[in-house]
Structure 1
């Protein structure tokens, strides 16, 4: 009688398990049924476990056990780990048992392992039976994965559209309130909160369905502590699912206990690599967060968190932006990595210390022009016309050398006429003397002397018509080769001559620096034609009249070149050369030398604005 009853009971149990494999069964019922039916197909099964998790990434956890509530030893799970790592069948046998672990692999990704512990026997038949039985589980996983994916995509697009509508133009607080209220409605949450880290602690910026946070200070404090808890651990926290994990959940438990929602999910977001804020989702007791809901919330936070954080950063007051930038840079300098910044700051500190304590020469720059010590102007001796021009500016000439000549033909005619008059007057004087007419003789002699004076004048004028160099030198200006035949006026400048053995400098110093300059100070000048040579000079005179050059007010300094230097540089120096001169003032701190110009300008502007 007992033998007839047992097979009937077994058959009814199998039918129950097979019915649990229907498409309408929930996930846990299907997994329990599959594992029980698979174990019933294998001889001598003592313990069986189905380990599943996220494909490839895990974590992999026990999803079902057979018989229910049974436990296996360390050797059993060692074979499971071996199968997970190698993605192939793992077998372990000892004196009294056989353990077989079969991997569940779909599209090259491992989803888990089905492991069975049986009495000692040959493993090949068990592996073959598992190969056939695993096909049912794989088909169910594919169907379940496609269904989950379709539902997740549908819900995600629904929420993305909601997020896009909320993130329109507007102030940050309005956008945040609209977003959390819309999320609470669409994700079936009693409350959704958003907060950001500020000064090391989370600050709640918006609660769904609540426009004023001051009315809920205790709630805001509890939500902020839950955010800090998730941000500090840099992980998503879900209550009550995570209570069995080694995570700190005290703030979440306090929030659930004091404000009535036992299902709390906090998702931190890190738009710049470090966690900057979090969203807290709260559901009633009868609506726990399943895996799909958690993934959906994470996707929403990933999408909305960055946008809201950037908008919050943009709306900060300028002083907070400067402070945050300073704090961020300080963290980089005092924290790990960023060796380049640290070295740059150390170098900057070294430069500042050097500038504050070290002394160096203080020099003033000025535009310099070389001129001869003597400059002689050769002017037209009388009104006339240019007849010859053998020299021009830039030529070196010797003393007495002819430079140009004026036309003397009219002067020579006047000289000839004056000579004839002188002969005529002398003859008249002689004739008057012979007649005894002393008065007539005196008049004729006076006229003769007048004619002689004219003759002397015309002779000197002819001699002066040729312009000659008064000394050895160089023509600084004057080019009459293109003016032959042109008329010139008496006193008109034709040439300017400068000697080659004596030079001086004219230095133009800006008016803001003239107070530091004194007669007797020395310096060096580098000319554009000789930038590799620095010629010393000494200031001999300060012209007390300001001039305007190129929009700047300058004072002119006269400087002399040393006698032992000028002859050596004479072959290269030329009047009119320009360069840059630097006047040595004294020794001062480098920080003053580098910054005094700016502070002088600032003082002047301050006086102009507020004085």
Structure 2
């Protein structure tokens, strides 16, 4: 039954019942201490105004669009029966659906009336009245209720204003977080700015942001922290809590607010116990119906807070902030990737500078580079193989230690010129001299013993002594031979290119140790270590130019005489030994000099000559990895 708002002059004012109820009830209604006290006073005044009112209920709109019971009233502060409550709520739902007053029969001969409080064309509150048959008529009760609903309109407007203010606050907070992210450079900086802004918005002690890497979450930032120790047990438990919320496809509050369906919070409880958190919220970052990450907020202490536990309002705020910032986070994440992000952005920026407006200098530089490439692709030059080289004597020999001993004297060292047979060093011969004296004395004693046995005719002693004398003479001969070789002499005329024993006097040497390396003077050989990538370009008889470190201002021509068939590894590369002879060796040339050799390998275009090392290596790389 629709109720018209016109023709209310015959309805007595609401204050008539209120005055009858007493000044105390009216005073409590005008100055309520809380919303519950206001509603209780309003229902009490309404019961005095409407005769036969035995119960009433108020339903207010929730944020999800549904309605929930906000207050109920029964005479003498009694509780309404479940059947009466069900009848009133049914009448209210019918009133909501029809957008008008509805009436239905309740139990015990009573009537349930549903009345919608409509603001801006939509019902925002529902009032249910339970009337006794002996009271006011339905029309009279409806008019009185309509008269008193002005106060309900005020409540609805105030709730709408509070919701609008809350929504504005959430939008402002989200925009602040969005602005902070936009000002930051790079993904990590943006996430850290988002976490720090959210920390202040929720009055939390820590905010974490985790992004999906494959099919698992990875904690990227923690608020007010420069780095994340992902291997720590606390970060692992935090990741598990965020994964728990992600699998439920919704935000999670721990501990769950009373009166709400409890989600799965086992991982949240375990992490809170480990980290010492009192309360925690986990909310997904959703872009185009796809979860790209999670946001977690924690409170560790109740100090300075009226309520330490997170509420539904806190979750709504975080959800709103996450929903607004998630697309920017996803964009930053894409830009952070190489192929789909930074590389694409760099290529796009380059094309914009080359083909867009402005950037005349960049366009001029690009044109000059293209012109240079074109010129290099046409002009030809000498193709030369560059490799390290060193000068060696045509004949090169070493002087080694003839036996185990100690260095006694150093006469020559590297850089000195020697002649064949000239002493370069001496080994310590004192031990050998003593050994020779010992063996000489032993031999003399054995000879004397042999003579005595001969005089006595003792053939057994004579034979034994003869063998001992032979052994002593052999050992003496060996010792004298070693004494004859204590001088380390030059094997040929030339230059000592390696060996300096002046700092090793008294040091032990083993038989065969190389002490000196002597190169013949006059004729020299250039040894060139050509890379395996270039050796195919070198042919015997090829000419080239040598530049030595000691003669950097003078280039020497040479001719390749031999290419070794085996390679040597060194300096991180494989090289082949190429030998060459100098056309005109200067008199001051010395073995051991090092430099760079360039071997002529024909003609080639400039661009190929410059790019050939890279091209050759790329061919091998592609051949290795391509099927």
TM-score normalised by length of structure 1 = 0.45
What is the TM-score when the length of structure 2 is the normalising length? Answer: 0.44
